[in-house]
């Protein structure tokens, strides 16, 4: 049975772990980023025509801070759109890809004259959604709703699994997670322990952060979403049979 390490924050990791186990993988989870809502964040939706989310965490924190569920939601990908639907938003649409895809979707669907856009964001953002939309004439109100705090060390179980060569693949969904993993692996003296292990990444931007480690190979999902990443993992698994 192929052994896989999931590095997502806990709330995001749980459905991924379930999906991997259903596919027959043995799964170890090590959350490398902790999500910290900014409790003092005040949400002003006056004049807003739509909500934009670039992560499921943004949706979940927004839903804790605001009772608003009537505005349409435009999400960067399917997982974020599902999180919005789960939170009670009736109108959700997924761009199915990147920040650039989300900006293009908004430009196609909305009119700048109809009002501003609200982006519920993390303290560190990937891409320039605000800049892309402002260039198209949309006023954008970006509000930092949460921050992510990197882990200070790998768990003892994760260190043992790496050191003993018990991992066949490690999954990465964000550049920051990949950066954190590289740093913590180096801190644990494990930088050379991945020569027989695959890295499976959501995007090329994520893969680029893993270059300091030597991998058996680095796979990138055909499209930046969980379904395509799972397909990449299955392709690796087929080679191990």
**Structure confidence at residue 58 (pLDDT):** 94
Name which CATH class applies to 3-32+151-240: alpha beta
Sequence-distant (6+) residues with CB within 8 A of 86 are none
CATH architecture of 41-148: 3-Layer(aba) Sandwich (3.40)
**Structure confidence at residue 41 (pLDDT):** 76
Domain-wise residue ranges, the chain: 3-32+151-240, 41-148
**Structure confidence at residue 241 (pLDDT):** 65
From first to last of its 241 residues, what are the pLDDT tens digits of the chain?
899 999 998 888 888 999 999 999 999 999 999 988 987 778 999 999 999 999 999 999 999 999 999 999 999 988 899 999 999 999 999 998 889 999 999 999 999 999 999 999 988 777 789 999 999 999 999 999 999 899 999 999 999 999 999 999 999 998 999 999 999 999 999 999 999 999 999 999 999 999 999 999 999 999 888 889 999 999 998 887 6
Distances (CA, A) of 22 to 17, 19, 182: 9, 5, 28
**Structure confidence at residue 157 (pLDDT):** 94
């Amino acid at each position: 049975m192929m052994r896989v390490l999931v590095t997502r924050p806990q709330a995001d990791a749980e459905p991924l772990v379930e999906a991997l186990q259903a596919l027959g993988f043995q799964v170890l989870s090590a959350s490398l980023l902790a999500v910290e809502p900014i409790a003092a964040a005040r949400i002003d939706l006056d004049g807003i025509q739509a909500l934009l989310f670039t992560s499921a965490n943004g949706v979940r924190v927004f839903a804790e801070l605001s009772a608003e569920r009537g505005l349409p939601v435009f999400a960067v990908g399917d997982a974020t759109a599902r999180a919005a639907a789960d939170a009670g938003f009736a109108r959700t649409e997924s761009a199915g890809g990147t920040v650039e895809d989300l900006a293009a979707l908004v430009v196609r669907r909305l009119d700048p004259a109809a009002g501003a856009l609200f982006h519920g964001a993390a303290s560190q953002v990937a891409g320039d959604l605000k800049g892309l939309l402002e260039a198209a004439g949309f006023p954008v109100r970006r509000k930092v709703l949460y921050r992510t705090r990197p882990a200070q060390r790998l768990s003892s179980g994760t260190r043992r699994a790496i050191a003993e060569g018990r991992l066949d693949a490690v999954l990465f969904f964000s550049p920051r997670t990949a950066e954190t993993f590289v740093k913590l692996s180096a801190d644990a003296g494990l930088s050379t322990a991945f020569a027989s292990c695959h890295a499976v990444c959501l995007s090329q931007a994520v893969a680029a952060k893993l270059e300091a480690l030597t991998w058996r190979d680095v796979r990138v999902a055909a499209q930046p979403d969980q379904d395509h990443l799972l397909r990449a993992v299955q392709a690796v698994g087929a080679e191990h049979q």
